[in-house]
Amino acid sequence: MPSQYRWSVLAAGLTTLAGPACRPVSPRAFEVPHAMPDVRPTPLVLAPEEGERRVRRLRASAPAALTAPFILKLDGRNGGSTDLVMGTEDIPPGQAIAAHRHLVADEIIFVHRGAGVVALDGRETAFGPGATIYIPKDVRVAVCNTGAEPLSIAFVFSKPGFEAYLRDTSVPEGQRVVPLSDVERAAIRARHAGHTRYEQP
């Protein structure tokens, strides 16, 4: 990755999903179950702002601008899927998804807005709005926002697992955000190392 790009852990955001509608639908509040067991699969139609909104707990040294929310749209708790995980987020300009691997799940990233560079097993590729990035399991990936606006993405995993890491490193939007210590972050990453491995502990 070019040296002028800073690779750092990012915080969250939102993107848009659109499709045909047969009749007008009134907005409704999205309810998030508190426990995963016995959640039956439920069809969902979510507005861009709907879903489980969370804020990452970053290190104390991270810029305050990185505390924007990300949204878990679909998983075992949201919709009751036993297979898929989907979420959305905005990556601020100059920030990045740190290099890591997902060991058990393929991932697809769809770029709704913005531009960046993705590194897949060392091969760097520039991308823009409308790009689809396919990341097979156990492939090293890092994504950097190289544009002047937020990089809005939707991410989908073929198997559950990463959503548990996301919850362990975040809080529900509106709750007090306590920064992660290096020791706490390393412990969380070690606990989830069976499905996701970061290059930094």
pLDDT digits (tens, 9 = 90+) for 182-201: 999 999 999 999 999 999 86
For range 18-31, the mean pLDDT? 37
- Global pTM value: 0.78
Angle subtended at Cα 137 by Cα 131 and Cα 138, rounded to the nearest 5 degrees: 115
Specify the pLDDT at position 51: 97
pLDDT at 40 (0 to 100): 81
Using the structure block, give the residue that is written with the tokens 């520039």.
126
Per-residue pLDDT tens digits for 142-195: 999 999 999 999 999 999 999 999 999 999 999 998 999 999 999 999 999 999
SS3 assignment, position 182? helix
Hey, which CATH number is domain 52-198, 2.60.120.10, 3.40.50.800, 3.40.50.1100, 3.30.70.600?
2.60.120.10
- pLDDT at position 8 is 35
Percent of the chain at pLDDT > 70 equals 76
Burial letters 112-151, b for 16+ CB under 10 A, else e: bbbbbbbbbeeeeeebeeebebebeeeeebbbbbbbeebb
112-140 pLDDT per residue, tens: 999 999 999 989 999 999 999 999 999 99
Taking all residues of the chain, what is their mean pLDDT, rounded to a whole number? 82
CA–CA separation, 174 and 27 (whole Å): 21
